[in-house]
Amino acid sequence: SSQAESSLTASGVTVAFGGFKALTDVTMSITPGSVHGLIGPNGAGKTTMVNTLTGFQAPTTGSVALGGKEVGRMSPHQLRREGVARTFQAGRLFTGLDVLDNLAVTGVGLGHSRSGSEAEALRVLGWMGVPHLAERPAAGLPYTDERRVGIARALMFAPDFLLLDEPAAGMSEAEAGDLAALIARVATELGTGVLLIEHNVGLVLSVSQHVYVLDAGQVIEEGDVDVILKSQVVRDAYFGA
Ligand code: ADP
């Protein structure tokens, strides 16, 4: 289908660490312009899934396809160039640089000129509504700002797909609400396909068009928010009620 042709899709993915399967036969598709949620208890395999979709972890069996092309053996670097970017749970910023330089380094790495990269970095920060962060040292940034810069850096790649690994961790409800609005804009204004991994289930349900529920390495439910809220499987396995 044309949807498969333009999506980032894992099909029948199993990831084994020795004899332990962190993921078993997982099929999951991220389509452009919408937010997909990925929830599940600790150890369910969420981070392993993000790693697999971004080149940090090769599937043991199964495939990862981008626009219909197999990418399961590509490196993170190659996949970024193909339009798949991610954020990390911890900031991973260059602490000796200010925020603008952190972002500009990414642009230079992509082959842009120094001044072009800085201009792009300022444009991204402005689009996100945080232009004031540009001159702040990366070291000692408040947690929430560090998260924002992580997203800004991922947006420097102008990704077709963006995977966010627990971006709201440590945020207040108000900050998480701002983040939700930003994530929605990434999908609707930039046309990016987003995969959002979060412990904050309320945040995921508030912003996602489609939600996957992982438990013990398997997709136990998927669908729109109504489907997830009504799912007995999800209640039993995940909410424990
Ligand atoms: P989640 O993000 O949902 O908390 P993870 O994907 O981090 O889950 O982990 C899923 C399971 O796989 C856990 O039991 C974890 O201990 C295991 N696991 C993850 N990465 C590795 C690894 N590199 N080697 C061995 N086991 C791993």
Determine the atom of ligand 1 nearest the C-alpha atom of 22.
12
Q: Whose CA is nearest to atom 7 of ligand 1?
A: 47
Domain boundary residue, one of 105, 140, 175:
140
Q: Is 146 part of any domain?
A: no
Choice from 13, 14, 17 to test ligand 1 binding pocket (greatest atom count within 8 A of CB): 17
Check whether residue 75 and residue 98 sit in a common domain.
Answer: no
Q: Is 152 part of any domain?
A: no
- pLDDT (0 to 100) of residue 107: 83
Mean of per-residue pLDDT scores for the chain: 93
- pLDDT (0 to 100) of residue 111: 83
Note the ipTM here.
Answer: 0.96
Asked if pLDDT for residue 180 goes beyond 90, the answer is yes
More confident site: 62 or 96? 62
Secondary structure percentages of the chain, helix, strand, coil, to 5: 40, 25, 35
- pLDDT (0 to 100) of residue 2: 54
| Helix-helix angle 143-155:114-127, to 10 degrees | 120
pTM (2 d.p.): 0.94
Q: Pocket around ligand 1: residues whose beta carbon is below 6 Å from it?
A: 17, 20, 22, 40, 42-48
**Rounded to whole angstroms, how far apart are CA atoms 135 and 226?**
43
Asked if pLDDT for residue 26 goes beyond 50, the answer is yes
Check whether residue 114 and residue 10 sit in a common domain.
Answer: no
Check whether residue 9 and residue 80 sit in a common domain.
Answer: yes
- pLDDT (0 to 100) of residue 239: 59
Average pLDDT of the residues in 16-42? 96
Check whether residue 135 and residue 169 sit in a common domain.
Answer: no
Q: Is 114 part of any domain?
A: yes
Grade residue 4 by pLDDT with cuts at 50, 70 and 90: low
**Rounded to whole angstroms, how far apart are CA atoms 121 and 136?**
13
The tens digit of pLDDT for each residue in 85-114 reads 999 887 688 888 999 999 999 888 888 898
The tens digit of pLDDT for each residue in 112-167 reads 898 999 999 999 999 999 999 999 999 989 988 999 999 999 999 999 999 999 99
Rounded to the nearest whole angstrom, what is the distance from the C-alpha of residue 21 to the centroid of ligand 1?
9
Asked if pLDDT for residue 49 goes beyond 80, the answer is yes
More confident site: 152 or 199? 152
Determine the atom of ligand 1 nearest the C-alpha atom of 214.
3
Question: In what order do the strands lie in the sheet containing 69-70?
Answer: 20-30, 8-17, 61-66, 69-70
Residue 47 sits in a domain of what CATH number?
Answer: 3.40.50.300
Check whether residue 82 and residue 176 sit in a common domain.
Answer: yes
Residue 128 is part of which domain span? 94-140
**Rounded to whole angstroms, how far apart are CA atoms 12 and 40?**
18
